Amino acid sequence: MESAFEATTIVAVLDETGVAVAGDGQVTMGQNVVMKHSARKVRRIHHDKVVVGFAGATADAFTLFERFESKLDEFKGNLLRASVELAKDWRTDKFLRRLEALMLASDGEHLFVLSGTGDVIEPDDGLAAIGSGGPFALSAARALTRHAGMDKRSVAEESMRVAAELCVYTNDQLTIETIDR
């Protein structure tokens, strides 16, 4: 069976106007059964000021979203501080460290990739992707950003469509959330 956090695709495009985060809707069980086509893996949290995307099991997603939102509340919306504190908890907490997942988070000014190994990575170019289709979506986003002159939402959407054509664990039933500066 594939790893729980590989069977999805989430892409984020951050530019001077804000951020667009897109995720597919496919939920697979094992290597060959699609259980759902329209899951919502991208959400707004913290008074709709932060967008998060998640690659992993549903129960893990809800657990991390709740924890992350409480960290955002605790640190008054400071995305970097909340991300670092969640990553520390995720790495050291006996329960949380069992979660095999990745998360993208953005407030429209910053973009971070968070992992259970304690990583909080801010990409140099404002582009990030996670999940099994992540490399495909990231490659497409880089090419579109450099050469197509498209807005952030269009880049995220088209990047996801490319990933859906290549990755069997990614479909084209997209959820896209944007935050403008």
DSSP 10-56: EEEEEETTEEEEEE---EEETTTEEEES----EEEETTTTEEEEEES
Catalytic residue among 8, 28, 170, 178, which? 8
Burial of 147 (0-12, 13-18, 19+ CB in 10 A): exposed
8 counts as catalytic? yes
3-class DSSP assignment, residue 128: strand
* Residue 22 token pair: 């897109």
User: Annotated active-site positions, please?
Assistant: 8
